Amino acid sequence: MSKLKVLDGAPSEIVMERLFDAPRALVLRAMRESELIQRWSGGKRAIVTPAENDLKVGGRYRTAYRTHDGFEFAFTGAYREVSDERVVHTESMEGTPGESVITTTLTEANGKTTMHLVMVFPDAATRDYVFGTGMAEGADESYDVLQALIATL
């Protein structure tokens, strides 16, 4: 059963929400430290090669993946806003046109953290293409691995 909720948004948006059974500080740590990103970001479908993550306004990141059947791809972007509650960054898949803007908000209550993520694409066609790749299923799987990793921190 999926723990990731895909919510209604504008025609050019993908909106997702997930509750983590952990305080925000642990969720932040796992989402920000390159060595931890490598352990959860690919879920069970892909291996993450060394992640680069310069988490500051104007800083850049690159996360590269290799699936078990050898397919390689990477996401890159830059940070526009960084705080403990909210991160705004751009994201592009190397070798494909277009860029999305992702706003992630983390809210803690009673030792649990709700992640609310909004991906804004240039247009509805790009959004539909990205959604059609199975990205929500991959994200759900990755966040399951993230939850398990957080439990070990």
Q: Kindly report the average pLDDT of the chain as a whole number.
A: 93
Q: Which of the four pLDDT bands, split at 50, 70 and 90, describes residue 78? A: very high
Which architecture does CATH list for 5-150?
2-Layer Sandwich (3.30)
Cα separation values, 40 from 27, 124, 125, 138, Å: 12, 29, 29, 11
Q: Each residue of 6-52: pLDDT tens digit?
A: 988 899 999 999 999 999 999 999 999 989 999 999 998 899 987 78
Q: Which of the four pLDDT bands, split at 50, 70 and 90, describes residue 2? A: low
Q: Where are the domains of the chain?
A: 5-150
Q: Are 122 and 99 in contact (CB under 8 A)?
A: yes
| Count of C-beta atoms within a 10 Å radius of residue 34 | 15
